[in-house]
Structure 1
Amino acid sequence: MQATLPATTAKVPCTIVTGFLGAGKTTLVRRILEGGHGRRIAVIVNEFGDVGFDGSFLSGCGIAGCPEEAVVELPNGCLCCTVADDFVPALDRLLAIEPAPDHIVIETSGLALPKPLVSAFNWPQIRSRVTVDGVVAVVDGPAVAEGRFADDPAALAAQRAADETLDHDNPLEEVFEDQILCADLIVLNKTDLMTSAEIEAVSAQIASELPRAVKIVPAANGAIDARVLIGLGAAAENDLAARPSHHDDIGEHDHDDFESAIFPVADVDSPEEIARRVAAAGAVDGVLRIKGFLALPDKPMRLVVQAVGSRVGHHFDRAWKPGEERAGRLVVIGLKGFDRDAVAGALAG
C-alpha cells in the first residue's frame, strides 16, 4: 500500500551518498547515523551483486533513531536502472513507518550514476513527499592519486593518432566523473593514506573537472560531523541542468563493463592470514573491490573484510547471532571477464 503524506506535511529531505567502489560510502553513512543529533534517520542501501554486505553492516546497528526496520537493502541491482521497480517501493516502505523519518539517506551502488536517481525525485508519485537535500560524493583519495580513474593522456593521444577508429572510453573514469559532476558536496576520503602534496593535487584535479563551485572536504574514515553532510537544502531535483553527465544523451544505460561473483571462504586462523589472501586476490587483473564477512575458529565475532586493490582492511563488527550460519563469503566486483579461477586460488591460500 502506497504511503501518502498529508499535503501540509513538509517534504522529507533525502541525502544521496554516491562514490565509486571502496570509496567509503557505508562508513560515511554510519557516521551520519551516529551523529544524527536526535533525528529519526532511515536508510536505503543499494549494492551491485547479491551479497548483502552494506545492508548487514548497517542493519541492526544499535544506533538510536535508526531501528532495524528503517534500513532497506536493495541488493543485486543498481538504483539508477531500477527506479520504478526498487526505489519507489522502498521509499514508500520507509515513509509508512510511524513515526515517519526526519531524514532519509540513500547509499547508491559504487557503479551507480546518481543523476537518474536525482531525476526520479520529479516523478509525480514522490515529488510531493520527498526532496534531494543534497548529493554527497565520496572519493577514494589514494585511488585518484594513483590515477586509477584516468587514462594516460599522452598514450591515449598516440593511440588515437595511429588509429582514429579506436574507442577508448574508460568505464571507470566515466562512472567516477558522473558521480562527482552531480555532487553538492565532495568528501575526499582516506586522506590519512595521502601526503599533503597528494591531497592538494587531487583536490585541484577534482575541482578542475567540476562545472560549478562545490566544496571539497578532506576526511579520514569518513569522520565528518553529520551536520556538514545533511541540511544542505540543495533541492537537487530542480537543478538537473547544472549536473552534466556522460549519459545525458543516452535513454538507457547498462553496467555490462562490470560483473560480480561470490566466493565461499573456509575458516582461517587469523585476520592477518585472510588479509594476505585477499590482497593477492585484489591484485588479479580486473578486480576492483572485495568485501564480505568471515568466521574465525574460536572467535565469537564476525570479521568484516574490505579491500580496494592491494589495500585491505578488517575488523570485528558484532557477535554471530544464535542460529546464524558461520559461513565466510566474499563478493568480488571487477571488470567483465576478470579471472575468477585466479581469485579463487588466491583466496584458498
Structure 2
Amino acid sequence: MSIVPKIPCTIVTGFLGAGKTTLVRHILENAGGRRLAIVVNEFGDIGFDGSFLAACGIEGCGDEDIVELANGCICCTVADDFVPALNKLLDRADPPEHILIETSGLALPKPLVQAFQWPAIRSRVTVDGVVAVVDGPAVAAGFFADDPAASAAQRADDASVDHDNPLEEVFEDQLLCADLVIVNKADLLDEAGRASVRAEIERHLPRAVKMVETEHGRIDPAVLLGLGAAAEDDLASRPSHHGDSEDHDHDDFDTVAIPVRASASADDLALRVGRATETAGVLRIKGFAEIAGKPMRLVVQGVGTRVSHHYDRPWRGSEPRDGRLVVIGLKGFDRDAVTAALAG
C-alpha cells in the first residue's frame, strides 16, 4: 500500500505590521506554477489581509485558494476554525501542493504547531517551517524592549496583569518558535542599525536560526519553502511563555473598526492616520479608503508612527466605497481620540 506524502505547511508569524501579508503576496506572485493555498488570520472580526490577498489578481490564485479566519487569533481557535479550514483545503479534488498559514500579528505560533499533532490532520500535513517576520526598524527603535515603568503602571491599573511587557512577550514567543527569521524593511536601516537588530534578535533565540534581510518582503520562495523542519515533532526546542498550554488569551490588546469618509487626497488621509498613531497605546492602523475622484481603492497602513499608502485595485461597480480602518492597540487605548484624529 502506497503512503501518501504529507502536504507541507509554512507558518508565517510576526508582530503587527512586520510585513507578513506583503511577504505572502510576493510568494504567491513567484510560485512558479506550484499550487499554493493560503490560510490568513486576523485579530478581531474585520478582515483586511484576506481581502488584500484575494485582490492580488495573480494567475492561478483564486478565491478558493484563500481561506480567511477572522474570529480571533488562530492560536486560540484551533479546534473551531483552523482544523476544519485545513481539512476543507485537503479534501479538494486538487489539493494544494503547499499551504501558507499567515497568523495574526498577536498570535503565538507554538499552539498552532501543536495542532498539527491532532489525529484529524497529523497523517495529512506537516509543518515545513515556522517563519518569523520581524519589523527591523521597530526592533531598532526599541519597540519590543521592556519598559519597567510602563509595565508597573499597567499592573497598577489592572491587577490581573501578571507579566511585564505584553509586546515583548508576543514578539519573543514568535522568535522562540522560528526556523527562519526574516528581518524585513532592512532598507530603512543603516549598517549599525542592522547589526543592532540582529544582536537583539539573537538575544531571544534559543538555538541557531538563520536570519535573512529583506526589503518589502521580496525573497526567493526557495529560501522559506522546503525547510523540512517537521516542527510538530520538535516542540521541545521551541519554548514559550505559556509552556505547553494551549490556553491563553489576548486580554492585553483590543481592536476597533472605524469608518472614514472619502478624503480629498491620499496625503490628507495619511496625515490624519499619522495623528491617530500618536495616541497612547495604538500599535497598528490598517484598512481601505476612498479618495475623491479616484477610481482606485487606497490601502493605508500605520505602524508605530510610520504611515504608508498605495492604490491596490479599482473599486468594483457594485462595491460599496465605505472606508474603514482597523485600529489595534493595548487594552484601554483612547478610541475617542483615535476617532477624532481620523475625522480630522
Band the TM-score falls in, shorter-chain normalisation: over 0.9
1:107 Cα deviation (Å)?
Answer: 0.2
Equivalent residue number for residue 281 of structure 2: 286
Counterpart CA distance in 2 for 1:322 and 1:251 is: 44
> Is 2:333 aligned against 1:338?
yes
Equivalent residue number for residue 255 of structure 2: 260
- The 3-state SS of whatever aligns with 1:277 is helix
Query: CA contact under 8 A between 1:295 and 1:327: conserved in structure 2?
Result: yes
**What is the one-letter code of the residue matched to 2:191?**
S
> Is 2:298 aligned against 1:303?
yes
- The 3-state SS of whatever aligns with 2:208 is coil
> Is 2:310 aligned against 1:315?
yes
Q: For residues 228-267 of structure 1, what are the structure 2 equivalents within 5 Å?
A: 228-248=223-243, 250=245, 252-267=247-262
Counterpart CA distance in 2 for 1:228 and 1:127 is: 25
After superposition, the C-alpha distances for 1:230-279 in whole angstroms (9 at most, x for unaligned) are 11110000000000001006451100000100100000011100000000
Equivalent residue number for residue 207 of structure 1: 202
Query: CA contact under 8 A between 1:61 and 1:68: conserved in structure 2?
Result: no
Of 103, 109, 112, the residue aligned with 1:117 is: 112
1:98 Cα deviation (Å)?
Answer: 2.8
Equivalent residue number for residue 27 of structure 2: 32
Of 171, 174, 178, the residue aligned with 2:173 is: 178
1:8 Cα deviation (Å)?
Answer: 2.6
Counterpart CA distance in 2 for 1:268 and 1:104 is: 38
Counterpart CA distance in 1 for 2:119 and 2:98 is: 20
Equivalent residue number for residue 218 of structure 1: 213
Query: CA contact under 8 A between 2:146 and 2:164: conserved in structure 1?
Result: no
Counterpart CA distance in 1 for 2:152 and 2:295 is: 56
Give the direction of change, closer, same or farther, for the CA distance of 1:335–1:157 in structure 2 (3 Å limit): closer
Give the direction of change, closer, same or farther, for the CA distance of 1:81–1:200 in structure 2 (3 Å limit): same
Equivalent residue number for residue 83 of structure 2: 88
Of 122, 129, 135, the residue aligned with 2:124 is: 129
Task: Tell me the percent identity.
Answer: 67
Give the direction of change, closer, same or farther, for the CA distance of 1:67–1:332 in structure 2 (3 Å limit): same
Q: For residues 183-202 of structure 1, what are the structure 2 equivalents within 5 Å?
A: 183-202=178-197
Give the direction of change, closer, same or farther, for the CA distance of 1:92–1:54 in structure 2 (3 Å limit): same
Counterpart CA distance in 1 for 2:115 and 2:323 is: 37
Counterpart CA distance in 2 for 1:135 and 1:169 is: 26
Q: Which moved more, 1:108-117 or 1:201-210?
A: 201-210
- The 3-state SS of whatever aligns with 2:313 is strand
Of 14, 18, 40, the residue aligned with 1:19 is: 14
TM-score (norm 2): 0.94
Counterpart CA distance in 2 for 1:7 and 1:253 is: 40
**RMSD of aligned residue pairs (Cα, Å):** 1.9
Q: Which moved more, 1:222-231 or 1:60-69?
A: 60-69
Give the direction of change, closer, same or farther, for the CA distance of 1:130–1:157 in structure 2 (3 Å limit): closer
Query: CA contact under 8 A between 1:40 and 1:103: conserved in structure 2?
Result: yes
Unaligned runs of 5+ in 1: 1-5, 160-164
Give the direction of change, closer, same or farther, for the CA distance of 1:322–1:130 in structure 2 (3 Å limit): same
> Is 2:109 aligned against 1:108?
no
Equivalent residue number for residue 3 of structure 1: none
1:167 Cα deviation (Å)?
Answer: 5.3
Unaligned runs of 5+ in 2: 154-158
Query: CA contact under 8 A between 1:119 and 1:240: conserved in structure 2?
Result: yes
Equivalent residue number for residue 156 of structure 2: none
Counterpart CA distance in 2 for 1:109 and 1:7 is: 37
TM-score (norm 1): 0.93
Counterpart CA distance in 2 for 1:158 and 1:341 is: 25
